[in-house]
Every structure is written in structure tokens, then in C-alpha cells.
A and B are shown apart, each in its own frame.
Chain A
């Protein structure tokens, strides 16, 4: 069974940092492009970042460029999102998602990040 479990969320002050993790199991993690997608409270889905299977092809949405860093550890089936200089508008549920071709076939349950003073 494919499982994606996010962790590392919580409350942080504006300007602070947070590192999200996503533990993958039930599939060969190293073969897939992985993504972070977020959802602000009561809002729609917003793609955040993607990293290819080997970790050499990385993309960010404009909202996170220069502040967010995506990475992965294929030896430990883990995906990460380092977030710095956090803003109130980064408050959202962050989902880890597996991409196959162009679509996301498995998602984690999400982790809430709240940026507030």
C-alpha cells in the first residue's frame, strides 16, 4: 500500500523557518518525481515545488522561490521542504504528492503550517 506521511508542521512566527518531511512507503520512492502542494484555509490547491527522481531537476512556484528548498533522500524514502522567511500567507495545509506522468496519483494527509505572530 502506498503511504505518504507528512510531518514537521506547526506554528511559526513571520520570518521564521520550518522543515517539512514526507515519509514514503509501499513503492519504489527513488523512481518517482515528488511534489509539495499546499492549500490555504478555505482556498484551492496551489502547487509549491517538484523534484525529479534523482533530485537533479527542481522547480518552484514563484511564491516560494528564494525561500523554499525541496530535497529528497532516496536511501531513506523521504522528501523534504525547507521553508524560510515565512510569511502569513504561507499558512496552509502542505501535501506531499507523487506524480506519475503529469498527474498526482497519491497524496499524503497533509500537515498544517501556521504562520502567525
Chain B
């Protein structure tokens, strides 16, 4: 079973700062099927990054994804007030077919 572990659990930063969120897999993954999501309270998740490094439609270029194998990173270059939310990583393909990380809460410092 593939387990995705996100770190840190909570990240406290100020607007304008750089955020680096990590997702580590218990098994090597295909980058093609790795993604990142943002979720705000009371809303559905929104796809930010697909294929590990591709921005989804309408996602600002301050969001970037990188990584391969077992280590993946979501970077937000300069935090805007609307970026404070919970972020999830997700993989498809390995058993179970789909799994999500437990989430990183990005909060205003």
C-alpha cells in the first residue's frame, strides 16, 4: 500500500514569503500521475498541479511543483492572502489505486 506523508503538518508564514511543502511516498511513484490540491474551508479541493510539475488551468505561476520517485515538493514563491489553505498531495496508479496525503495546513503567521 502506498502511503503519502506530507510535511510539515502546519506551516505558519506571512504574505510575501516563500512556502515549501513536502510529500514523501512509501514507494516510488510515476510523476505522470502525481498532483497537488488546494482546499479552503467549506469548498471542494481544487487541482493546482498535475503530472508533478504542470500547473492546472488558471493556476498562478507562483505555484510550482517538482520532484520524482518518492519525494515531491509544492512551492509557492510569494504568498498571497488567498493562498492560506490546506494542501493535499495525491497519487494514482499504485495500490490502492488512489491515495492522498494527510494535508498541510498553511496558516498566516
Contact = CB atoms under 8 A, between A and B. Distances in A.
Interface in A45-100: 45-47, 50, 59, 61-62, 95, 99-100
A62 B99 CA distance: 12
A19 interface: no
A28 B102 CA distance: 32
Contact of A102 (B39, B44, B88, B91): B91
B3 interface: no
**Sorted from nearest, which 6 A-B pairs have the closest CB atoms?**
A102-B33, A102-B92, A103-B35, A47-B98, A107-B44, A103-B50
Given A47-B100, A50-B98, A101 B45 contact: no
B64 to A, nearest CB: 16
Nearest to B29: A102
A103 B92 contact: yes
A103 B44 contact: no
B51 A101 contact: yes
Interface residues of A, number: 21
B45 A107 contact: yes
Interface string B27-51: 0001011110101000111110011
A104 interface: yes
Contacts of B98: 35, 47, 50
B50 A44 contact: no
Contacts of A104: 35, 37, 45, 47, 90
